[in-house]
A and B are shown apart, each in its own frame.
Chain A
Amino acid sequence: MKKLTRILVPVDASEGAERAVDFAVSLAEPTGAVLDILHVSYFDKDTDAEEESWLPEAIAGSVGAMEKEALERARKHVPPSVTAEYHRRTGIPADEILRFAQEEQTGLIVVGCRGLGFMKGLLLGSVSQEIVERAEVSVAVAR
């Protein structure tokens, strides 16, 4: 197995995502791996905008706030001993997460269980489920 150097942790502002960050930290500390913490928004104020954003500030603004909250909540769970980089992308979450993993040579993706989606009934969120199935790299599901 290749040495673990980069761990990707997709986050939203949820408890599941915080547990994923905690678990990723517990792997990064002994291995010295760097965390890539990623938030994916479905759209932002530039989506479909040719010159000017047509999305009202009430909508585009709240997407920006969600992104900020997700990354802030994640940041609070990363101790100074662990190096983390924060990233944001726009698109379909599972697609963007897998694309990021491929581009950035991620060694492991750590996902939360429930949280990255709104179907509370599922034990594993739909995004996490899709990532476990489709990822070409190893995936850890935190609890």
Chain B
Amino acid sequence: MKNILVPVDGSEGSDRAVAQAIALAEACEAKLNFLYVANINQLAINACLSDAILEAVTKAGNVILDRAMQMVPSDVEKEAFSETGSPAVVILDFAASNDMDLIVMGSRGLGVVKGVLLGSVSQYIVEQSKCPVLVVK
């Protein structure tokens, strides 16, 4: 196991996933790759989103990524990535094109439906991923 992908969205579940991924990366001497996906459609960006909004979204993503990065002990290799698009699709594309060995994520993110046991992004990734997925409870 060389590369662990940890999609982050700043939710409580994503914080737990970061903690678990750190423990695994330490044991396996793997690199942690944090990915924040801003849920905006590229067409919408071109068509009508103002620079101010884009900047605010980017800043929010950076805060979340910085927080994850700061949790990682100095002896573990780490990198942060920021993308835009539909989270589930972008996460899977990223995992495939960057040869990730494992995706570690929370069972529910920022979704609005509190009752569901597995969020829609996690569900999609668990079903479609080509690499193993660890759902952190």
Q: Which residues in A have some Cβ–Cβ distance to B below 8 Å?
A: 1, 3-4, 23, 26-27, 30-31, 108, 123-124, 132-143
Chain B window 8-49, contacts with chain A (Cβ cutoff 8 Å), 1 for yes, 0 for no: 000000001001101110011100000000000000000000
With contacts defined as CB atoms under 8 Å apart, how many contacts are there between chain A and chain B in the complex?
Answer: 59
A123-B127, A132-B118, A132-B126 given as contacts; is B23 within 8 A of A3 (CB)? Answer: yes
A interface: dominant SS = mixed
Report the separation of the CA atoms of residues A30 and B101 in the bound assembly, to the nearest whole angstrom. Answer: 15
Q: Which residues in B have some Cβ–Cβ distance to A below 8 Å?
A: 1, 16, 19-20, 22-24, 27-29, 102, 107, 117-118, 126-137
- Given A132-B126, A141-B135, A143-B132, 19 other A-B residues pairs in contact with their CB atoms under 8 A: A1-B20, A1-B22, A4-B23, A27-B1, A27-B24, A27-B28, A30-B28, A30-B29, A123-B128, A124-B126, A133-B117, A134-B117, A135-B137, A136-B137, A138-B136, A139-B135, A141-B134, A143-B129, A143-B131
Chain B residues, Cβ within 8 Å of A143: 129-132
Chain B residues, Cβ within 8 Å of A139: 134-135, 137
Chain A residues, Cβ within 8 Å of B126: 124, 132, 141
Report the separation of the CA atoms of residues A26 and B20 in the bound assembly, to the nearest whole angstrom. Answer: 16
